[in-house]
Amino acid sequence: MSDQHSPIRSFGRLKSRPIKPRQAALLETLLPKVRVPPGPVESQGLMPAARETWLEIGFGGGEHMAAQADLHPDVLVLGAEPFHNGVASALRHLDERGLANVRLHDGDVRDLTGRLADASLARIFILFPDPWPKSRHHKRRLVQEGAVAEFARLLAPGGRLRFASDWAHYVDWSLQRIAANPAFRWTAENADDWRTPPADHITTRYEEKRLGDCAPVFLDFVRN
């Protein structure tokens, strides 16, 4: 399948270490309450008073997603993550903060985005996704031309897309593909705009581990 037509797809492990008892209990009790229901996804049905709807693709342990939802209680925050342990961790954050404005999709993000209407999102976050550094695995990267086209469909005019990574090649790869789509405008005006975390960014424990080959880079785009 060519890069241009590659859909959004989640790759990687679905489960690793044993899940702690408290988180396992939340998978049984809380997840069914906050899981995005089947069928077309409409904010009016999930959160009638929502000012906007945001999506985080691959929320990891859920720290950033939960913190943003806590800071913006009038925003419906959708999160997609196939990694079972990450979902369990996110549920703990939702439970501890008592958040009522988050809905989770515990699976491939394509199953969620395909049910979202055109121009239904105000923000999309893709933060430190799996870089798939080996050349033969680049086709597994989330950011492909087809995925960028889907982001453009989902974002309303003036909506924002943020990509962050600490792998230099993935940063260059993503910048080329997103900037090549005329629906997006890169907001950076100088080097500090991508080297310095945005004012509204929430640093996570994963980010602090610095597992990549460069300092974190933040690419912000606006939907034309």
* Domains by residue range for the chain, with CATH: 3-223 (3.40.50.150)
Q: What angle do CA 195, 137, 58 make, to 5 degrees?
A: 55
Q: What is the pLDDT of residues 65-115, one digit of tens each?
A: 999 999 999 999 999 999 999 999 999 999 999 999 999 999 999 999 999
The per-residue pLDDT for 18 is 85
pLDDT value at residue 81? 97
130 a catalytic residue: yes
What are the b/e assignments for 52-84, b being 16+ CB within 10 Å? bbbbbbbbbbbbbbbbbbbebeebbbbbbbbbb
What pLDDT score was predicted for residue 17?
A: 72
Catalytic residue among 74, 95, 130, 192: 130
What is the chain's mean pLDDT, rounded?
93
The pLDDT score that the predictor gives to residue 115 is 97
Which residues in the chain show pLDDT less than 70? 1-16
pLDDT value of residue 205: 87
Q: pLDDT value at position 7?
A: 47
